Amino acid sequence: MSLFIDKHGLNQYKSDNRIANVLNDDIRLLNLSEFIIFYQGNNTSSMKKRKRLDTIDDIMPMLVKTVCVNSTGMRIIRGTIGENYGREILSENPFDLLVAINIRLTTTNPLDNVLGFVLAELGECTRKPNVWCVKLICVRKIEGITIKSNILLGAFLYCINNSSYPKEAILELAMGYNNMSGFISYTKMGFDKDLKLFNKKDCFSELDNLPMRVGNISNNDLIISRATDGERRIVSPDEDDSGLYNIGKIDDADTRRIELQNQLIICNNLLYRIELAFDSIYENPSILEDQNLEYLYKNWLGKSVRSNKEKTIHALKSMRNDILIKLNNNNCIKECINYICRCIGYKGGKYRTRKSYRKHHIKTRKNSFKKMYKK
């Protein structure tokens, strides 16, 4: 069973002017069969020495090892990191693959041309045997050229919408809200938190991964518009009660809001885990496997609160609301570029201009360093 095929509109997606403009003439999207042909290349003596790829089982270990790395070359997949990790994430369920390559690069190893990929699995949730899941998505930059994960996600949703499969999709957000870039990307493309998908018997079972789902996939134009940044999705508190998506990415220079955002991430991570596994966490808080979450749970929540699920949830939601009020301070004068916002001053305060705010910020940092490093 395949998802990324012409019958499901893959070529139509790639040939749309908005997608073509993003891909330019440098990037090409290849489905599984096309990538195998690209990898094998011409039947020359050098190609004969290359390990033959015939199935997705052969491809995934090599793709994961090559592409799922950060700028320092370290692999960024949680869990078992081994030579066969790509094969270990596969199961007996049907899988399909879409790969983005840079066709302008001249390399001896075709894997060096790969900018990113999305791996899709059919029926990971046994209660939803015909629903596709984003199993893994990785992107990287090569010589200044990269591809946004939204382009790959867009193709995934577009092909589902033009197929006979149910018009929904699911995924697990690795590391929960700590994975802010992934959360924003998935939410932008229509995914929302769905804790009903957490069930060790017939669906997702990892407590540190956030279950997400998009339903009612129906609009091809909207999928492409969001994938190409033509439209930013607006969500309501019911769709994203964490508040993190609408806040967006905060400029690193805005240390006050960065700290508040980190507090909000920790609060939301603990909250959804409590909602999913209150009894298990109460009996053994170490299953949280996160020092920040354990500290918040043990030291901020009193014993009388921790012993009651409703009280614990209420306390965490109150904490979240308090943080959101501070983050959404109406007195903040925001400067936003490409949805990245920061406060450059406050209405009615002494920092009425960007210049005066920066002077204060620099002076504050100097004073803090003096306190930290006293002679």
CATH topology of domain 6-235: Aminopeptidase (3.40.630)
pLDDT tens across 334-357, in order? 556 555 555 555 444 444 444 554
What's the confidence (pLDDT) of residue 195? 97
What is the average pLDDT across 59-88?
61
pTM strictly above 0.85:
no
Residue 79's identity, in one-letter code, is: G
Give me the phi and psi of 79, to 5 degrees please: 100, -150
pLDDT tens across 34-59, in order? 999 998 874 444 455 555 666 788 88
**Region of poorest pLDDT, from 2-16, 168-182, 270-284, 348-362:** 348-362
Compute the CA torsion angle 222, 226, 231, 234 (nearest 10 deg): 90
Model confidence at 122: pLDDT above 50 = yes
CA–CA gap between residue 202 and residue 153 (Å, rounded): 25
CA–CA gap between residue 112 and residue 93 (Å, rounded): 29
Are the C-beta atoms of 297 and 287 separated by less than 8 Å? Answer: no
Confidence of residue 62 (pLDDT cuts 50, 70, 90): confident
Contacts of residues 305-313 at CB distance under 8 Å and 24 or more positions apart, as own/partner, are 306/282, 307/282, 309/274, 309/278, 312/274, 312/278, 313/271, 313/274, 313/275
What's the confidence (pLDDT) of residue 268? 97
pLDDT tens across 281-324, in order? 999 999 998 999 999 999 888 888 999 999 999 999 999 999 99
Q: Where are the domains of the chain?
A: 6-235, 332-372
What's the confidence (pLDDT) of residue 148? 94
pLDDT tens across 206-255, in order? 999 999 999 999 999 999 999 999 888 989 999 999 999 998 888 888 88
CA–CA gap between residue 79 and residue 122 (Å, rounded): 21
Model confidence at 333: pLDDT above 80 = no
What is the SS3 assignment for 140-191? CCECCECCCHHHHHHHHHHHHHCCCCCCCEEEEECCHHHCHHHHHHHHHCCC
* β-bridge mates for residue 337, sequence order: 340
Strand residue runs (E) in the chain = 27-31, 95-102, 114-122, 132-139, 169-173, 192-193, 210-214, 332-337, 340-346
- Percentage of the chain modeled with pLDDT above 90: 59
What's the confidence (pLDDT) of residue 213? 97
Residue 108's identity, in one-letter code, is: T
Strand, helix or coil for residue 330: coil
Model confidence at 88: pLDDT above 60 = no
* β-bridge mates for residue 98, sequence order: 31, 118
Numbers of helices and strands, H then E, in the chain: 15, 9
What's the confidence (pLDDT) of residue 345? 52
